[in-house]
Amino acid sequence: MTEILRSLEALLFVSDEPVTSVVLAQALDLDRSQVDRLCEELSREYEERAGGLVVQNVAGGWRLATHPDSSDVVERYVTSSRHTRLTRAALETLAIVAYKQPVTRHQINSIRGVNSDGVLRALVERGLAAEVGRESAPGNPLLYGTTPEFLERLALPSLADLPPLAPLLGNAATAAREAE
């Protein structure tokens, strides 16, 4: 029975929305009523443990969620600027920094075709990009690069493990070469 509860818990963990008993039953090769009993048992175990997670029956399905008593701290954490999702502009800018580093603000703006100063500042504040030096050119502009936190967030051992750009560009690279 422990193995089934472990599998049930794993399914609830990877699901980002409530999962119906029918779907869980199919995945576990059990009856719907067995799944409901197992979910209730798992819910009791979580409650008895008095941890930060609960198993809830909501919106017609089961889900693993944070304990309601932890809502204040979870909300502060999730809404902090360091943990919110990146915008498309931030992702584009971060990709330029990652692949072209060290790179100046002017180079980033030229590649994107828009002023990226605010986006770059936000990436620095979030610890994903940092000033890494100055270019030996008129005005000595700042150079930007990625940080160890960038590698950690992308689960990369090093920058050498970034995927090659050519396959990511696909048809856009081919079209650009043909236009030349």
Q: What is the pLDDT of residues 129-180, one digit of tens each?
A: 999 999 998 999 999 999 998 988 888 888 888 888 777 666 555 555 555 5
- Mapping DSSP onto H, E and C, the string for 69-102 reads HHHHHHHHHHHCCCCCCCCHHHHHHHHHHHHHCC
In a domain, 128, yes or no: yes
- Cα 177 from chain centroid (whole Å): 33
Place of tokens 């100063």: 117
Q: How many domains does the chain have?
A: 2
CA angle 85, 87, 92 (to 5 degrees): 120
CATH classification at residue 175: 1.10.10.10
In a domain, 82, yes or no: no
Same domain as 99, residue 57: no
What residue numbers bound the domain in which 46 lies?
Answer: 2-70
Domain end call among 70, 100, 129: 70
Same domain as 94, residue 53: no
Residue range 55-60: mean pLDDT, rounded: 87
In a domain, 131, yes or no: yes
Q: For residue 169, is it left (φ>0), alpha (ψ between -120 and 50) or beta? A: alpha
Instruction: Phi first, then psi: give them for residue 108, nearest 5 degrees.
Output: -60, -50
Cα 122 to Cα 102: distance, rounded to the nearest angstrom = 18
In a domain, 158, yes or no: yes
In a domain, 95, yes or no: yes
In a domain, 79, yes or no: no
In this structure, of 53-57, 104-108, 176-180, the range with the lowest mean pLDDT score is 176-180
In a domain, 53, yes or no: yes
Same domain as 106, residue 175: yes
- Dihedral sign, Cα of residue 125, residue 130, residue 131, residue 137: negative
Query: Residue 105 pLDDT > 80, yes or no?
Result: yes
What percentage of residues in the chain have a pLDDT greater than 70?
Answer: 88
Same domain as 52, residue 18: yes
Cα 5 to Cα 22: distance, rounded to the nearest angstrom = 16
Same domain as 112, residue 34: no
Tell me the C-alpha to C-alpha distance, in Å, between residue 161 and each of 98, 99, 156, 157.
11, 11, 6, 7
Residue range 68-96: mean pLDDT, rounded: 82
Cα 49 to Cα 40: distance, rounded to the nearest angstrom = 14
Contact assessment for residue 55 and residue 64, using Cβ atoms and an 8 Å cutoff: yes
Is residue 82 very low, low, confident or very high in pLDDT (cuts 50, 70, 90)? low
In a domain, 83, yes or no: no
